[in-house]
Amino acid sequence: MEFRQIVYFLEISESGTFQKAAMRLGLTQPALSRQIFLLEKELGVIVLERGGRSVRLTHEGERFYQYSIRLKALWEEIQIGFSKENDLKGNFSISAGGTVSAWILPQILKEILNKRKGLSLSVREGDASETKNSVLKGEVDLGILTGPITEPSLNVIEFLSDQIFPCAAKDHPIFLKKKIKIEDLKKQPIVFFHPGSALRKAVEKKIKSFSKDYGPNIAMELRSVESVIKSLEAGLGIGFLSEYSMNPNLKKINFEAWNAERKFYLCYRKKSGPGLAMLAEEILKSAEKWKRNTNFNNFLN
């Protein structure tokens, strides 16, 4: 058995198809299939059930997947242990929500990768539940979640705080009012994120603190931040966005004492190798620098 076969097996498991895995690994599909055949021959069991365009793990494959995750973590620990001091290397995967994936991580990771030539990072977008489960199952190395987080098996480090604002297109009729109240929002169609969104949960909690009987007039429920922004720009309603995803075409709605904040946390399994702790520290440093150099105030007024 070769370690690369374990890497190939993990990539297929996470990609769902041989074709996607082959593209990500830079291999031809027949070459990848050959390596998995050799792996299964040596193990004496079938680990992947082929059917149609997708594959799924067999019972033996599920067991081998858990071993493979541990072997990958051990290999990364070995690489860190024999590398130069403070030399962060290896392949790591990150899962985060739409706001973080689109507006926060790209610049942060770009700076890290420019400094760490032996480092490879991949990002998977998922809502709060998907990200948390991916970290706990070992499908990704590091997750970025909104708190509070009470998982004894995870290391949890505060990452960034985030202000959430009601907003609308700059020419929306609601801005004709001199003073906007919660009652004015009740009359407006709402462009909301889907129910599993951490941002939506934070907004709903805040709205209930203003008016317990307020049932939002939901016009749209969307999964991506970009979809929400485009719908708001088109004047299809009012919405709620992170300060990080605001743009010049949108305007913050100021009313009463609105102040909704959420905190992001870096999370990874406690039994992970030292490489993840180093990566988390690197992300924190880059995030602080990024926030100092980024001015969001121009978009909020």
Each residue's pLDDT tens digit, 128-176: 888 999 999 888 999 999 878 888 899 999 998 888 999 999 999 999 9
- Does residue 49 lie within any of the structural domains? yes
Residue range of the domain that includes 65:
1-82
Q: What is the pLDDT of residues 281-300, one digit of tens each?
A: 999 999 988 888 776 554 45
Number of domains in the chain: 2
Q: What is the pLDDT of residues 9-49, one digit of tens each?
A: 998 888 888 888 888 888 898 899 899 999 999 999 999 99
- Does residue 153 lie within any of the structural domains? no
| Domain-terminating residue out of 33, 67, 82 | 82
- Does residue 143 lie within any of the structural domains? no
Q: What is the mean pLDDT of the chain?
A: 86
- Does residue 113 lie within any of the structural domains? no
| Domain-terminating residue out of 47, 82, 117 | 82
Q: Does pTM top 0.75 for this prediction?
A: no
- Does residue 185 lie within any of the structural domains? yes
Distance in angstroms (rounded) separating the CA atoms of residues 174 and 158: 36
- Does residue 100 lie within any of the structural domains? no
Say which range, 72-76, 85-89, 247-251, 257-261, has the weakest mean pLDDT.
Answer: 85-89
| Domain-terminating residue out of 82, 102, 125 | 82
- Does residue 207 lie within any of the structural domains? yes
CATH of the domain at 69: 1.10.10.10
- Does residue 125 lie within any of the structural domains? no
Distance in angstroms (rounded) separating the CA atoms of residues 138 and 201: 26
**Dihedral sign for Cα atoms in the order 37, 41, 42, 44:** positive
pLDDT category of residue 204 using cuts at 50, 70 and 90: confident
Tell which phi-psi region holds residue 99, choosing left (phi > 0), alpha (psi between -120 and 50) or beta: alpha
Q: Where are the beta strands (DSSP E) in 198-259?
A: 217-222, 238-242, 250-252
CATH of the domain at 170: 3.40.190.10
